[in-house]
Chain A
C-alpha cells in the first residue's frame, strides 16, 4: 500500500469547511480531513489507494465512484455505536471516526444497536426528491402554482433554500410506494458523529422525482485495478472536496461528458496524458500495476498513468421511479434507460436537467472479442467479484433473461445494488444474445434504495416499547414472581420461595390445589360482553354445542371453530340475564375472537340483535381452587350458600365478596372444586388481599401459570394454540361430545361431516408418560416408532408433543397429537428431541381423576 500522501489541493471544494479539521482512522492509519468530507474523499485525500478487497478473490480494490454507485469502498465502523457495511462515499466524516476496510462483507454488531433512531410523519401536497437544478425548479413551480405544502428532500448535506417550501437536507428517499407514500432516512447530526437517524414516513399528493444522474463504466481486462475510476466522479472529487484523484491520467469516454471531466481534472493540475473516445474507435485493452495503476494499454498505444477515468454514459437515476411502479425504456439519445410510463395514474413525474451531449453518445459496454483469459479478469461487478467470463458461462448454460443471469452470476445482488454493473451487464448480455438492449431490459430495483438498519425501521418501538406490556390490577401483589409472557400479558409463572427451584415450586403449588386450596390471578382471560335479543342465536352458530337453551345463572363450556372445522378457541360463557351474556376466551385470543364475532355479525348476520363489548380490562378475577376452596369462599361471602347443593357446578351469581360487589362462579380449570371471583377491575388488589387473608387459615397458596398448566393438562383440558395448531378438530381433542347433532348448522359443522374429518387415523390428543417414570419429555419432540433408526431418511413421524411438564401427580408427563392416537393407548414410542430418543408410553389424555369425582370437593 502506498503511504498516505496528501492529494488535497491548496484550495477549493464546495462541500468542505477548511476551518474545521477532523481526524479519521482507517485500519490504524490517521487521515486528516475536513467537516463536509465523506470518508471516501478523506481516503482519497490521504492517498489511500486500496479501499477494500474482492469478496472472493481478495484482489485489492480502489475507489471507483463518489456516491451510491461505489462498489468497493465499504467499511465497518468501529467507533461510537458501530455499524457494519457502511459505504465510504456516503458516510460523512466526524472527529474520531474509526473504520476498518472490508472484503465485501461486514460483521453483525455483537451488541444492541444503541444508535438514536426516531420516526417522523410528514404530509405534503407536493414532494420533490432531489435538490439539484431540476428539483429546485420543480419545487419553485409548485410553490408559485399555489399547490399547497411543498416538501423537498435532498441527500446533500446542505439543502437549497426556497421561499414557501420546506427543504430537508441529508435525507435519502429509500422507497417509493403505493398511493404516494415515500420512506426516507434523514441523518440528524452527522458532523458531530452522533449517527442519529430519523425515518421519515412521507405521504405525498404528488411526487416529482428529480433524483439526478448516475454514471456507468465500461469494462475491459484489468478494470478492477485501484486507480480506475468513473470520470465524472473523479472530476467531482476536485469540485466538491478539493481533492485530486491522481497525478497522471488517461480519460476514456463514450460521450461528451467525459471530455468535460478531463478538462476539470486538467484544471486541477492533473496531467491528462490522453483523452480517448469510443466514438473515435479508441478502446482500453488492459492495465498494469500492483496496488495502484501504473500503465494503461489502449488501441491508441500505451500510457504511464496512475488514474484511468472512465465514463460509459450519464443517465437518469430511475430506481425510485421503478419502486413506484413506473416503467423504463431504452433511449439512444442518452445511451441508457429513461423513465417511460408514469406510475400511479400520474401521481409520480420526473425531472432531469439532462445530458448536454453535442455528439450522440455511444452505447458501448465491453469489447466483444476478448479471449477467455481476458474475460476472466474483466470485472462487470467488482462488489460481487463477477466477471465477463461468468456472464458467458451463464449464457452457455442457456440463460437468456437478464433476471436469470443476475441470479446465476450474483451480479447486482450486492449492497451497492449493482449501480455500476446493472446496465453494463445488460449491455454485455444483449451483445452475447444478439438482441437489442431495449428488449433485454434492465433488472428491477426494489426498496430500500440504500441499506437501512433494522433499528431505524423499529425507531422507538424497541425494547420495552416493542409491544405493549399489559398487567392486571393485581400485578403489584404478584410482581415478585418470575413472569411469563402470555400474549401481551405478564403473568407469574410460579411463586418459588428463596430455597426452592421453579420445578419444586410448581410441585408444591400443584399439591396445594389438589389437597388444600390455591389462588391465582385469572384476570387476563378474555371477557366479551354480549347484549341483545339474539345472543343465543349467535352462540348457537359460533359454538359447536347448544347455547340458546342456557338458563340465566348457568355457565357452559363451548368450542369455537372456523368454517373449515378447525378449533379456533374455547372457553366458558355465562348467561347474566335474558339479554346479557359474558363470554370468556383464551388469554391470547381475546381480540381475535371479538374480531370473529363482529365479522359474522356485520357481514353475514346483520339482522341479529347482538352488540359485543370487550370487557377484559373491566374485571379483576381471582380463581380459588382446591378441596378447601368452599371454606375460603364461605368466609369471603358469608351471605351465600356455597354448599354443593346450594351452589352447583357451572352456575354463577351476583354476590358481595369481602364487602365488594362481585360475581361468583363455580367453574374449574383443574378438575378440583373451584370458584372464580370477579370484581370491578379497580378492586383487584383488594380482592387479592381479601382472598389471601380469608384463605390463610387453610394454607392458601398462590399459584402461577405453570401450575395451572400442569393441573389442566392432567385433566386433558386443551390450550388452544398450544395443543392445537389450526389442523385440529374438536373430535381430535376428544371433544366430540361438544358437537351438536341437533343443530341444523354451526360454523364448522359441514366441514366436520367431511370424510377426512372422520378418518380414524387423524391425529388425536393423547397422554404420554416416560417409560422409566423419570425422564422429562421435551415439548415439540417428534414421535416416532420405538427404536426407529434416526439416521434413515425420512424417519416416519407419527405425531408431536404439544405440552410437557416435569411433575404431574405421577412424575413427568406430556400431551401429544398422535396419528390414530386413541387406538394406540398402551403402545411404546420414542419422543425425539435433537436426535435423542426418550421412550414413552401412550396413555389416555386424562391422567388424573378420570371419573370427575373431585369436582364438588372431597
Chain B
C-alpha cells in the first residue's frame, strides 16, 4: 500500500487516489498542426523508467485535486 502525500490533505492510503500516469504530457496547443506520428506520441507513448518518475495523482476520495509526486518505480520511495 503506497502512502501518497496529498499536498492538500496530507499523507493518505493509495486507495483514496486515482493514478494519472506520467506528468508533464500537455494537451498540444494545436492538435491539427501535428502529423499522425506526433499525435500518436501524445496519445500513447509514455516513459516507463526503472528510476525516479514524476507522475500525476488525483485525490478522488477527498479533495479531488490533481498533483504530481516523484516516485522511484523500483523501490516505491516517494518524494512530494
Contacts and interface: CB of A to CB of B under 8 A. Distances in A.
Most buried by A among B30, B42, B76: B76
B34 interface: yes
A181 interface: yes
B10 to A, nearest CB: 14
Interface string B24-41: 001110111010100100
B60 interface: yes
Contacts of A345: 75, 77
B31 A595 contact: no
B66 A604 contact: no
A598 B64 contact: yes
B32 A753 contact: yes
Contacts of A563: 27, 42-43
A432 interface: no
A325 B26 CA distance: 34
Interface of B: 1-3, 18, 20, 26-28, 30-32, 34, 36, 39, 42-43, 56, 58, 60, 64-66, 75-78
B42 to A, nearest CB: 8
A177 B2 CA distance: 8
A823 interface: no
Given A178-B2, A563-B27, A599 B75 contact: no
Given A178-B2, A179-B1, A602-B65, 10 more contacts: A179-B76, A563-B43, A598-B64, A599-B20, A604-B26, A745-B30, A745-B32, A749-B31, A750-B31, A750-B39
Contacts of A179: 1-3, 76, 78
Most buried by A among B26, B31, B34, B43: B31
Nearest to A756: B36
Contacts of A298: none
A602 B7 CA distance: 15
Nearest to B40: A754
Most buried by B among A325, A564, A750: A750
A178 B76 contact: yes
Contact of B66 (A181, A602, A754): A602
A599 B3 contact: no
B39 A177 contact: no
Nearest to B77: A345
A410 interface: no
Contact of A599 (B34, B42, B58): B58
Interface of A: 177-181, 201, 203, 325, 343-345, 563-564, 595, 598-599, 602-604, 744-745, 749-751, 753-755
- Top 3 closest pairs, chain A to chain B, by CB: A750-B31, A181-B1, A178-B76
B44 to A, nearest CB: 8
Most buried by A among B18, B28, B39: B39
A181 B76 CA distance: 12
B64 A750 contact: no
Nearest to B34: A750
B77 to A, nearest CB: 6
B18 to A, nearest CB: 7
B2 to A, nearest CB: 5
24 contacts: A177-B1, A179-B1, A179-B76, A181-B3, A201-B1, A344-B76, A345-B77, A563-B27, A563-B43, A564-B43, A595-B18, A595-B60, A599-B58, A599-B66, A602-B66, A603-B20, A603-B66, A745-B30, A745-B31, A749-B32, A750-B31, A750-B32, A750-B34, A753-B32
A564 B56 CA distance: 20
A179 B28 CA distance: 36
Nearest to A606: B66
A751 B39 contact: yes
A599 B23 CA distance: 13
A749 B28 CA distance: 12
Contacts of B65: 602
Given A564-B43, A599-B58, A751-B43, A178 B1 contact: yes
A753 B43 CA distance: 14
A604 B43 contact: no
A603 B25 CA distance: 10
Contacts of B34: 750
Contacts of B28: 750
A754 B76 contact: no
Contacts of B75: 325, 343-345
Contacts of A343: 75
A594 to B, nearest CB: 9
A749 B43 CA distance: 13
A267 B8 CA distance: 66
B64 to A, nearest CB: 6
B69 to A, nearest CB: 12
